[in-house]
Structure 1
Amino acid sequence: MTNRLELNGSRQFCSWLNEHQISISFSTYQAGKLFFIGMQDAQKMSVFERTFARCMGIGLDPKTDSLWVANLYQLWRFENALKPGQSHQGYDRVYVPQVGYTTGDIDVHDVAIDDQGVLFVNTLFSCLARPSETHSFEPIWQPPFISKLAAEDRCHLNGLAVKDGKAAYVTCVSQTDVNEGWREHRQDGGVVIDVQHNEVIADGLSMPHSPRWYRNKLWVLNSGQGEFGYIDMKTGQFEVVAFCPGYLRGLSFQGNFAVVGLSKPRGNKTFEGLALHDKLKHKKVAPRCGLQVINLNTGDIVHELRIEGIVEELYDVCVLPNTQRPMAIGFMNEEIRRVLSLPF
């Protein structure tokens, strides 16, 4: 693997960011990075990154603009240190790690905010959980087919959607109740579960990820098929909106558009035998790493950010509204000592 890193936007990608006054954050656990994509000016893209070991789920609190980020063994809350209209070295957002919870290596995947605070997918223990003031986590829900809270990653619970302030839907790779049983059901064992009613509402999916409730639809990534779509709530069928040439993880929205994360499948047993490989071969295209912007009305891929080099896999994607050029303070340099945010 090379240390080279290149990020190239399609012709109108920067104009799209400018038009909607947004930036985008995405995580890559494989390279251990949290990225922020914004605009330096009307034409030039800004790329900022910080190192966080095994960086995974990103959750944005819509009420406070707090940014929650999961990594290898911690969950961190970032706060913007700037007041409205302020800037720091050309950045209009400076995210500072303000509060951290040590969870241990429980393989946290999606992070979301409901009306009680932050919650996350605890994949190792096959449950939804909240951070605890005294323990590694506080379990709050597990799938109906999981019989025991055990550190066995029994079904590869990974995705979480919040609806009306409540944890509403999750995705699992399988309905298995044994240690890493999901690995035998990657092709078509995936399910979407209604958390409030404790029932499976869609099945037959291939390693589904990133469920999101948006504009009265439950959107899902059927990752093992490279498909972005939604669940028909009456029939339980997955309706394909677009094919993307990569293994899909990470989904966020802006207006009439979805922003989807694409990864290059690893050459190991986790990704062997997936329909995605045959689809890529049939379409005569190589798997990509990057972001794709999809028009929800047409299913067209209208913009793209291609990533080449050291970063080959993404996990989560988060649109940051009303943000032109964001950055974050890390732990490994002197800057964290000097950035002060005062309550007046």
Structure 2
Amino acid sequence: MNSAPKPFDCEYSPQFAELLHKLGISLAISTYQANKVIVLSAIESDKLIQLPRTFNSPMGMATAKDSLAIATRNEVIVLRNNSGLAKSYPKKPDVYDGLYVPRSRYNTGYVAMHDMMFGEDGLAIIGINTLFSCVCKIDHQYSFTPIWKPPFITELASEDRCHLNGLASENGEIKYVTALGNTNSMQGWRDGKMNGGIVMEYPSGKIIKDGLGMPHSPRIYDGKLYVLNSTQGELIKIDPETGSHEVICQLGGFARGMSRHGDYLFIGVSKLRHNSWAFKDLPIAESSFAGVVAVYLPYGSVVGSFKYQMTVDEIYDVKVLPELKRPSILSPDMDIHQQALSIPGAALWGASDKPKQPTTINN
């Protein structure tokens, strides 16, 4: 008799675990619906392990060298990987080869930050501020500093006018952005969300592709523009000159979140909201699931998948953590992160700031 699924129960193809193990990488997955960032690793060629950590509605993430930035409901949190702290982690010494520890927290307020990237210096954070329909800079001076908005957006307002969401960068510069509509009224994109999605050239704002179904996660790989045509569950390649596109493969769910390592793409997929009349007639309505699929880009084929059975229904972002076979991550709600100290040239674990409880002796 099969037992009922437990929280975060999952199933995966043997090829998926084998691929992570062979590549020597791990994945970071953000799920705002479950309030988690999950680190997924292969500890053997046929066995996956996951570490779910609590963050408040995490969505977009960015990586640069040993840094990981996570956009949460009201903050952007920057974590730093330290192998020395990982090796001496008090709870599991000599188990992890990396440990991401919170180092900076920027109070943005609720702005619905989506895709993000680090600047060329590896310090500045640039992101899509969806609520205010702009690209912005995040630092210690302001809640955010607007640096660009689509030409059709007339003013900055907390109205999610076009659901600006994704950015594609090359050599540290933004080249393209995606939005769910060419609209300039409060949540105006919702009326045409099934086929009103657009891709814009940056910074001109020229619309190079329209008619898409809630596009997300534009990326430039080998000089070519790839986009997730989310409601159709498709990975597509767009020709910016002609606006034509080619379907690379079907992904089986609402596609959102994409990262590359070598010839492989790791793409997040989410379950469709089955109680929504807008989604019920889509081709992926019955097959959609929450998880990650691996795509071999030279052939445009799915070569493995990881699927949640419980807890996780929606995924926003997926990031490859290169050269880390089994990293861990500490979230701000874990007291032990306050003891993780790093200084130039050294890493050490400090004492807990909690007072020790007096010992009681029973006579």
Instruction: Compute the TM-score of the two structures, normalised by the length of structure 1.
Output: 0.92
In structure 2, the partner of 1:111 is 116
Q: Give the letter for the 2:105 counterpart.
A: G
In structure 1, the partner of 2:72 is 71
Gaps of 5+ in 1: none
In structure 2, the partner of 1:99 is 104
Asked whether the equivalents of residues 148 and 203 of structure 2 are also in contact (C-alpha less than 8 Å), the reply is no
1:237 pairs, out of 233, 236, 244, with 244
Aligned mates of 2:45, 2:213 — CA distance in 1: 40
In structure 2, the partner of 1:22 is 25
Aligned mates of 2:61, 2:104 — CA distance in 1: 15
Q: Does 1:50 align with 2:53?
A: yes
Q: Give the letter for the 2:294 counterpart.
A: V
Asked whether the equivalents of residues 254 and 284 of structure 2 are also in contact (C-alpha less than 8 Å), the reply is no
1:261 pairs, out of 268, 282, 304, with 268
Identity of aligned residues (%): 37
Task: Measure how far apart 1:338 and its partner are.
Answer: 2.1
Aligned mates of 1:84, 1:254 — CA distance in 2: 26
Classify the secondary structure of the residue corresponding to 1:309. Answer: coil
Asked whether the equivalents of residues 114 and 162 of structure 1 are also in contact (C-alpha less than 8 Å), the reply is no
Q: Give the letter for the 1:280 counterpart.
A: I
**Deviates further, 318-327 or 130-139:** 130-139
Aligned mates of 1:227, 1:93 — CA distance in 2: 33
Classify the secondary structure of the residue corresponding to 2:341. Answer: coil
1:279 pairs, out of 257, 276, 283, with 283
Task: Measure how far apart 1:3 and its partner are.
Answer: 6.4
2:229 pairs, out of 216, 219, 222, with 222
1:73-117, CA deviations, whole angstroms, 9 ceiling, x for partnerless residues?
Answer: 000111012249946431111000101100001111111123252
Task: Measure how far apart 1:286 and its partner are.
Answer: 2.3
**Deviates further, 31-40 or 120-129:** 31-40
In structure 1, the partner of 2:330 is 329
Aligned mates of 2:255, 2:163 — CA distance in 1: 16
Q: Give the letter for the 2:262 counterpart.
A: G
Asked whether the equivalents of residues 100 and 329 of structure 2 are also in contact (C-alpha less than 8 Å), the reply is yes
In structure 1, the partner of 2:82 is 81
Classify the secondary structure of the residue corresponding to 1:53. Answer: coil
Q: 1:133 to 1:85 in 2, by over 3 A?
A: closer
Aligned mates of 2:164, 2:335 — CA distance in 1: 38
Classify the secondary structure of the residue corresponding to 1:331. Answer: coil
Aligned mates of 1:235, 1:288 — CA distance in 2: 33
Asked whether the equivalents of residues 81 and 340 of structure 1 are also in contact (C-alpha less than 8 Å), the reply is no
Aligned mates of 2:87, 2:139 — CA distance in 1: 34
Structure-to-structure mapping, 1:111-260, within 5 angstroms: 111-115=116-120, 117-260=124-267
Q: 1:321 to 1:137 in 2, by over 3 A?
A: same
C-alpha root-mean-square deviation of aligned residues, in Å?
A: 1.9
Aligned mates of 2:51, 2:315 — CA distance in 1: 16
Task: Measure how far apart 1:337 and its partner are.
Answer: 2.5
Structure of higher CA gyration radius? 2
2:37 pairs, out of 31, 34, 39, with 34
Aligned mates of 1:334, 1:234 — CA distance in 2: 52
